[in-house]
Amino acid sequence: MHEFSLAQNLLGQLLELAAQHQARKIIRVEVQLGESSNIVADSFQFGFDVLSKENEICRSAKLVLQPTAGNDLILAQVEME
Amino acid sequence: MCDSCHCTETTKSDSEKKIIEVHESLFAANNEKALANKKLFAAAGAVVINMISSPGAGKTTLLEQTIDHLAGTLSIGVIEGDIETERDADRIRAKGVPAVQITTGGACHLDAGLIHTGMHKLMAQGNKFDIIFIENVGNLVCPASFYLGEDLRMVLLSVPEGSDKPAKYPGAFKTSDLYAITKTDLLPYFDFSMEEARKEALQLNPELQILELAAPKGTGLSAWIDTLQNLINGKN
Ligand SMILES: Nc1nc2c(ncn2[C@@H]2O[C@H](COP(=O)(O)OP(=O)(O)OP(=O)(O)O)[C@@H](O)[C@H]2O)c(=O)[nH]1
Ligand SMILES: [Mg+2]
């Protein structure tokens, strides 16, 4: 249920990164999703897809979720231009 | 120079694409706030318990009974999390104990930022506490993912919910220190297996301390009060 708020946090962080690196567009975002994180990959992806449409910079960003061990959710890598 | 029409606009080439390695937890912001909360808790001199259960498992009832037992001997504060209403905080205030109500307006869990704000409000009502209880939003799943800075996390499971719940909702059981099986006065009316409820939780988390409670009847309360007292003594 909190997948949406986590997706919201992620987008906030992406906007900060874009500003830091003077990027106009986020292209690809890689996130590692811990298998015991209680986070449902599909709804996190859905939340991201819906919320990313709310601003120009993230509008066409592609979220790639990598399953990993543990219970964390880690922003690994961001591709931007 | 753009090579299709020779205008002065530069085109984006691949070299302007940047790949940034971040490797930061999306819970990092929450965990940082939780560490800030730990400092606030220490400043108040309090041990802090985060109570997690499904709606109605008996969190507020246990708090009311605890207050009745400890009033006068310990100073208690309560932070209540609910989606809507002041009702749980009002139940605590009716016992003469300072309480702050956080309404999440829909969110299914408390996060460290909400507790930080709540804690400042609580400290406006009293600056020293022996113990602070955080009653999380009634939900057996989501609150388990958010560390609030607490010293002890407890999960409550009531008899009517069924003894298969630890295996079905493992998160809260895996991350808790204490597990209270509540409403044991109702055991005669439900097919709840105490053995299953204990065994399957311990399989998930062998360190769990288990209590059996029927708070309104006073059953198991002395073991619970001892646990609280040990926690406070351990901190001092
Ligand atoms: N029989 C019995 N009923 C109980 C016991 N503990 C709580 N109840 C009842 O269970 C209902 C819910 O109790 P609450 O204490 O409000 O539960 P809660 O976990 O605080 O609920 P939320 O804050 O809404 O998640 C109330 O009607 C209580 O009287 C118990 O040990 N035995
Ligand atoms: Mg309650």
Q: What is the CATH number of the domain that holds B225?
A: 3.40.50.300
pLDDT band at B1 (very low <50, low <70, confident <90, very high): very low
* H helices, E strands: number in chain A: 2, 3
Q: What is the pLDDT of residue B6?
A: 52
A40-78 tens-digit pLDDT: 999 999 999 999 999 999 999 999 999 999 889 999 999
| Position B130 pLDDT exceeds 50 | yes
Domain membership flag for residue B7: no
By DSSP bridging, strand A62-68 and strand B76-82 are: unpaired
Separation CA B126–CA B77 (nearest Å): 8
- Closest approach atom of ligand 1 to CA B61: 15
Domain membership flag for residue B14: no
Can you tell me the mean pLDDT for B91-106? Answer: 95
Q: What is the pLDDT of residue B114?
A: 96
Ligand 1 contact via B185 beta carbon (within 6 Å): yes
Domain membership flag for residue B226: yes
Ligand 1 centroid to Cα of residue B170, in Å, is 22
Chain A: closest CA distance from residue B18 (Å): 5
A66 CB within 8 Å of a chain B CB: no
Residues constituting chain A = 81
pLDDT band at B113 (very low <50, low <70, confident <90, very high): very high
Domain membership flag for residue B9: no
Q: Residue A32: give the domain boundaries.
A: 2-73
Q: What is the pLDDT of residue A30?
A: 98
Separation CA B36–CA B45 (nearest Å): 14
Q: What is the pLDDT of residue B2?
A: 45
Ligand 1 contact via B190 beta carbon (within 6 Å): no
CB–CB of B173/B208 below 8 Å? yes
Domain membership flag for residue A49: yes
Looking at the 3D structure of chain B, how many domains does it have?
1
Domain membership flag for residue B18: no
Chain A: closest CA distance from residue B119 (Å): 22
Q: Is the pTM of this model over 0.80?
A: yes
Phi, psi of A41 (to 5 degrees): -55, -45
| Position B196 pLDDT exceeds 80 | yes
Domain membership flag for residue A41: yes
Which residue(s) pair with B132 in the sheet? Answer: B48, B77
Separation CA B217–CA B202 (nearest Å): 26
CB–CB of B232/B131 below 8 Å? yes
Domain membership flag for residue B24: no
B6 CB within 8 Å of a chain A CB: no
| Position B46 pLDDT exceeds 60 | yes
Lowest mean pLDDT among A69-73, B166-170, B171-175, B181-185: A69-73
Chain A: closest CA distance from residue B216 (Å): 32
Cα four-point dihedral sign B85, B86, B91, B92: positive
Domain membership flag for residue A78: no
Q: Give the number of whichever ligand sits closest to the CA of residue B159.
A: 1
Residue of A nearest to B168 (CA): A38
| Position B215 pLDDT exceeds 80 | yes
Ligand 1 contact via B216 beta carbon (within 6 Å): yes
Domain membership flag for residue A16: yes
A11-21 tens-digit pLDDT: 999 999 999 99
Separation CA B165–CA B19 (nearest Å): 44
Can you tell me the mean pLDDT for B136-152? Answer: 95
Looking at the 3D structure of chain A, how many domains does it have?
1
Domain membership flag for residue A10: yes
Domain membership flag for residue B127: yes
Domain membership flag for residue A17: yes
Residues constituting chain B = 236
Can you tell me the mean pLDDT for B25-47? Answer: 94
Q: Residue B180: give the domain boundaries.
A: 33-235
Domain membership flag for residue A80: no
Single-letter amino acid, residue B123: M
Residue B198's nearest CA partner among B217, B176, B179 is B179
CB–CB of B183/B158 below 8 Å? yes
Cα four-point dihedral sign B112, B31, B76, B185: positive
Lowest mean pLDDT among A58-62, B14-18, B98-102, B157-161: B14-18
A31 CB within 8 Å of a chain B CB: yes
Q: What is the pLDDT of residue B105?
A: 87
A35 CB within 8 Å of a chain B CB: no
Q: Which long-range contacts (CB under 8 A, 24 or more apart) does A58-64 make?
A: A58/A11, A58/A14, A58/A15, A58/A18, A58/A26, A60/A25, A60/A27, A61/A14, A61/A25, A61/A26, A61/A27, A61/A28, A61/A29, A62/A27, A62/A28, A62/A29, A63/A29, A63/A31, A64/A28, A64/A29, A64/A30, A64/A31
The packing angle between helices B221-235 and B59-70, to 10°, is 70
ipTM more than 0.95?
no
Q: What CATH number corresponds to the domain at position A36?
A: 3.30.2320.80
Separation CA B38–CA B31 (nearest Å): 10
Q: Which distant-in-sequence residues (6+ apart) come within 8 Å of B171 by Cβ?
A: A36, A38, B140, B141, B144, B145
| Position B14 pLDDT exceeds 60 | no
Domain membership flag for residue A24: yes
Q: What is the pLDDT of residue A1?
A: 60
Ligand 1 contact via B91 beta carbon (within 6 Å): no
